[in-house]
Copies of this chain bind each other. A is one copy, B any other.
């Protein structure tokens, strides 16, 4: 029940203060040899090169020519580093939608932009998410997504839900795609062979009497053929946008 004199509103965790650049350096003491952005950049470099599993405090420190424990002067725990990595890993949002775009074109662009980021930074998918977006870049993405829906008659809460739906879809699709890529690397087979091999394995395991619908899918050759992943992505995205469109029409009526 200590009467803490905190008139500054809700407490902001140090990790988030770091991300927003709100931490001012105390004037005393030796000059820091490192900085939070330097450390985060090094960690991102490691993740880009060798995946998220390679990001250990010692590895990042080695990347910087510093000692492991030196990092803890800048970052209170590894989780904090991960959070900052996500922020810089996503990078700046694609910007507000061009004026000639309607909401659908805008959100399509928005979704593809995230898709693109996740495609060549798949380690972002492996960082355990610990809460709603709060870092600057992430809120930037959110802002740009909301702007796409500015002209619609959706309620504010519905806009948020719609965006949540889309990001969730993009992340999910990216997760599946990157799993196939990682699986092919692990098994040492060509990326185009992963799904066919999967299909053959399922075919061997299931009893057609117990799994008739699944059997039908297999005999239709759905898993055997090697689809363009971009088509798959477009398909799901269009379904979701169709669903949102139906709601927008209803609200506009």
Contacts and interface: CB of A to CB of B under 8 A. Distances in A.
Interface of A: 9-10, 12, 16, 20, 126, 128-132, 134, 139-140, 142-143, 146-147, 150, 155-162, 164-165, 168-169, 171-173, 175-176, 179-180, 182-183, 195, 197-198, 200-202, 204-206, 210-214, 216-217, 220, 222, 227, 232, 235-236, 238-244, 246-247
Given A156-B222, A214-B142, A205 B239 contact: no
A222 B172 contact: no
Q: Is the interface of A mostly helix, strand, loop or mixed?
A: helix
B204 A10 contact: yes
Indicate how many identical chains form the complex: 2
Contacts of A143: 210-214
A204 B16 CA distance: 12
4 closest Cβ pairs, A-B complex: A243-B243, A168-B172, A146-B213, A239-B243
Contact of A205 (B134, B201, B236): B134
A252 B204 CA distance: 33
Contacts of A171: 172
A211 B147 CA distance: 10
Given A12-B204, A132-B179, 10 more contacts: A16-B201, A130-B179, A131-B183, A134-B202, A143-B212, A147-B213, A156-B220, A159-B217, A160-B222, A161-B235
B232 A239 contact: no
Contacts of A179: 129-132
Contacts of A227: 157
Contact of A139 (B131, B132, B206, B222): B206
A240 B172 CA distance: 14
A186 B24 CA distance: 27
A13 B150 CA distance: 51
B10 A201 contact: yes
Contacts of A236: 161, 164-165
Nearest to A218: B156
B239 A146 contact: no
A199 to B, nearest CB: 9
